[in-house]
Amino acid sequence: MALTLLEAAKLETGDAYKSGVIELYAGSSDILSNLPFENITGNALRYNRETSLPNVGFRGVNETYTASTGILNPLVESLVIAGGDLDVDKFILDTMGQNQRAVHEAMKVRALSLAWTKKFIKGDNQSDPREFDGLQTRVTGAQKISAGSTDGGTALSLAKLDEAIDQTLNPTHLIMSKAMARKFSAAARTYTIAGYISYDLNQFGQRVMSYNGLPIITVDLDNTGAAILDFNEVSFTSSAWGGTATGSSIYIVSMGAEGLTGLQNGTIDVRDLGELPTAPVFRTRIEWYNGLAVFNGRAVTRLGSIANSAIVA
C-alpha cells in the first residue's frame, strides 16, 4: 500500500529520531507531503502501462464477435540514491552544545528535500543518469497543452485550465509556483472567477487554496535559492518549441496507486557515524532509495506557455 512520508513516519514507532527526520523531510516540501510512496523490492519496478483498450461491438443473431486485445507497454522505473553526509565540527559541539548538531542536520534535511522537489519537476535522466526523470521530461503528446500561441506565453484562461484538467484521468492536485498561485489569489478577488477558488486547512494547519475542488500544491525555491517553476520556460505549441523564455507551467496530476506514485525501497535511512577517525567532526549520513512511476499515461498533464499575466476567464 502506498503511503505518504508523513504517514510512514507514524509507523516508525521504535525510532523517534528517524521519524522526526522523515517528518522534517516531508514538511519541507508540499510535494513530499502529498505524494504517496510505494515500497518495492530490488532496485527497479517493472510494470505495464495501458495504451489502448480492446475493441468491443455488437453482433447479430448467429454472428460472432471479432476477437481483440488491449495494448500494454512494458516500462521499467529504476531507483536512484538521494542523500548526503553532514559533518559538524567537534569544536562547535563542545563550545555551543550538542543541540547544534540537530540544528545543522535539520538544515541538511531541508536542503535535500528542496533538491528532490526540483528533480520531481525538472529531473532529466539523460542529462544526469544519477537522477530520475521529472514531470517536465515525462509529459509528452496529448498530455502537453499550450496556453496559447503568443511568443513568450499567453495569459492563463480558466477555460484552458479546465481543458487540461479534463485531459487528466481522476485528477487530485494542481502543481504550480508560488508566483502562479498568487495570481489565483488575485483572481479570487474578481467576481467572474472567485466562485471557482476556495480555501481549506492541511495537516499542518496551513491554509491551502483549491481550484474547482483540486488542492493547489506550490513549489518555491530549490536548495540553491533558485525558483523551481519560474517564468523562464521556452514557450511551446502543440507542434513545436520556440520563442522567448518567459513562460511557466501548471501540472495537473492524479496522485495514487494507479496514477502518479513515488517509489522507494525502505524509508529514509539516517545513520549516526560518530566522530570520524580522520577529522574532528561528527558525521550523519542520510540516504533514500527512491524514484517515480506514472502508472497511467493520463495521470499527469502539463499546461505550459503561461505568461506572467493576470488570469482570465
Short-list 86, 84, 82, 85, CA closest to 102 = 86
Q: How far is CA 28 from CA 138, 195, 264, in A?
A: 24, 30, 19
The dihedral over CA atoms of 116, 121, 127, 131, expressed in degrees to the nearest 10, equals 30
Domain segments of the chain as ranges = 5-51+72-131+260-294, 141-258+297-306
DSSP 8-state secondary structure symbol assigned to residue 134: -
- pLDDT score recorded for residue 15: 63
Question: pLDDT at residue 17 above 90?
Answer: no
Architecture in CATH for domain 5-51+72-131+260-294: 2-Layer Sandwich (3.30)
- pLDDT score recorded for residue 71: 44
E strands in the chain: 37-39, 44-52, 71-78, 80-89, 144-146, 173-177, 197-201, 207-211, 214-219, 248-253, 260-264, 269-275, 281-294, 300-306
Confidence class for position 99, pLDDT limits 50, 70, 90: confident
Spatial distance between the Cα atoms of 307 and 260, rounded to a whole number of angstroms: 27
Locate 157 and state its grid cell. 484562461
Which range, 35-49, 159-173, 177-191, 257-271, is most confident?
Answer: 159-173
pTM above 0.85, yes or no: yes
Q: How far is CA 310 from CA 109, 187, 231, 244, in A?
A: 36, 8, 13, 19
Cβ atoms within 10 Å of 47's Cβ, excluding its own? 13
- pLDDT score recorded for residue 149: 86
Q: What is the pLDDT of residues 137-147, one digit of tens each?
A: 999 888 999 99
Spatial distance between the Cα atoms of 108 and 103, rounded to a whole number of angstroms: 9
Spatial distance between the Cα atoms of 198 and 261, rounded to a whole number of angstroms: 26
Architecture in CATH for domain 141-258+297-306: 2-Layer Sandwich (3.30)
Spatial distance between the Cα atoms of 45 and 177, rounded to a whole number of angstroms: 30
What three-state secondary structure class fits 94? helix
- pLDDT score recorded for residue 267: 85
- pLDDT score recorded for residue 166: 96
- Residues 287-312: what's their mean pLDDT? 93
Which range, 201-205, 266-270, 283-287, is most confident?
Answer: 283-287
- pLDDT score recorded for residue 54: 60
Question: pLDDT at residue 68 above 60?
Answer: no
Q: What is the pLDDT of residues 161-216, one digit of tens each?
A: 999 999 999 999 999 999 999 999 988 887 777 668 888 876 667 788 999 999 99
Mean pLDDT value across the chain: 85
Cβ atoms within 10 Å of 225's Cβ, excluding its own? 8
